[in-house]
Amino acid sequence: MSKLTLMAVFAHPDDEAFGTGGTLTKYAAEGCDVYLVTATRGEAGQIAEPDRATSANRPFVREQELRCACQIYGIHPPRLLDYQDGQLTIVNQGQAVGRLVRVIRELRPQVLITFGPDGIYGHYDHIAVYRWATIAAELAADPGCFPEQLEDVCQPHQVSKVYFRTLPETQIEAMAEEEGKPAAVMMDGVPFYFAARPEDDITTVIDVSEYVEPKLRGIQCHATQVGRNSRFSDTPDEVMGEHWFRHEHFALARTTLEPPREVETDLFAGLR
């Protein structure tokens, strides 16, 4: 069996932090090869603290924040697809899929994690990445697809499991209760509500209790996004103690293995 390899594909720096930072850290700590592919530098993101970046240097600053986070997680440096933030629905979709097919064939992950069709809160960039990554995972195994890639070292590769990052209903309800209103991400002054997954859809729960400190420090690397007054600044014990922070939830979307009969606690279940 070749080395266990995990590849995550997201749209923006910080997309990995809240829902998968603990998982990336855990598998890196266990000796797996862990890669993060990020489609943009997040230059369209709103800046929580204006002194941290200008609109001119925002792509550079956010890339550095992502590099900082990857170091904290102990994973490989991020791979950037270099697309423009906010523009993923209008780039050439075939080319974007081809680029991801190539990365999959090169890194050869058994497990791939990405967004589900809900895009967590319906962000168009997230939904575009969901489509590219799920299509690419399928095409990477097919030698008839992008055959020009096979002329060099790049060979077809079958991803064994594709997971969607998910937010369970209970978490969304807890967030709503805490804030006294439905949980949402504000974009251009408008609330985009989080999409909750029913508990039954969640196939896999990763206990990241041992890794809450690096997870929090990874979040804090994204300083332009996490304001100084945020509940994630400093080292808030109440955040690190919360159940949702200590567990990360996934839905197994595609697998070449037997579907699991009970809730998995390991993304590589059946592959070890």
Residues that bind Zn ion (CB under 5 A): 11-12, 15
Distances in Å between the Cα of 166 and the Cα atoms of 118, 217, 233, 234 are 9, 21, 24, 26
CB of 10 vs Zn ion, minimal distance in Å? 7
If the CB atoms of residues 12 and 249 are measured against Zn ion, the closer one turns out to be 12
CB of 15 vs Zn ion, minimal distance in Å? 4
- Between CA 255 and CA 150 the distance in angstroms is 24
CB of 254 vs Zn ion, minimal distance in Å? 22
- The dihedral of CA 114, 97, 84, 61: what is its sign? positive
If the CB atoms of residues 248 and 264 are measured against Zn ion, the closer one turns out to be 248
CB of 200 vs Zn ion, minimal distance in Å? 26
CB of 241 vs Zn ion, minimal distance in Å? 26
> Residue 64's closest CA among 38, 92, 34, 100?
38
Residue 84, both tokens:
């423009």
If the CB atoms of residues 32 and 183 are measured against Zn ion, the closer one turns out to be 183
CB neighbours of residue 259 within 10 Å: 8
- Between CA 4 and CA 17 the distance in angstroms is 21
- Between CA 50 and CA 178 the distance in angstroms is 27
- Between CA 86 and CA 212 the distance in angstroms is 30
CB of 146 vs Zn ion, minimal distance in Å? 27
CB of 41 vs Zn ion, minimal distance in Å? 12
If the CB atoms of residues 131 and 157 are measured against Zn ion, the closer one turns out to be 131
- Between CA 26 and CA 212 the distance in angstroms is 10
If the CB atoms of residues 15 and 248 are measured against Zn ion, the closer one turns out to be 15
If the CB atoms of residues 12 and 215 are measured against Zn ion, the closer one turns out to be 12
207 CB contacts (<8 Å, ≥6 apart)? 246, 247, 265
If the CB atoms of residues 128 and 202 are measured against Zn ion, the closer one turns out to be 128
> Residue 115's closest CA among 1, 9, 203?
9
The single residue listed with the structure tokens 């592959």 is 271
- Between CA 208 and CA 214 the distance in angstroms is 10
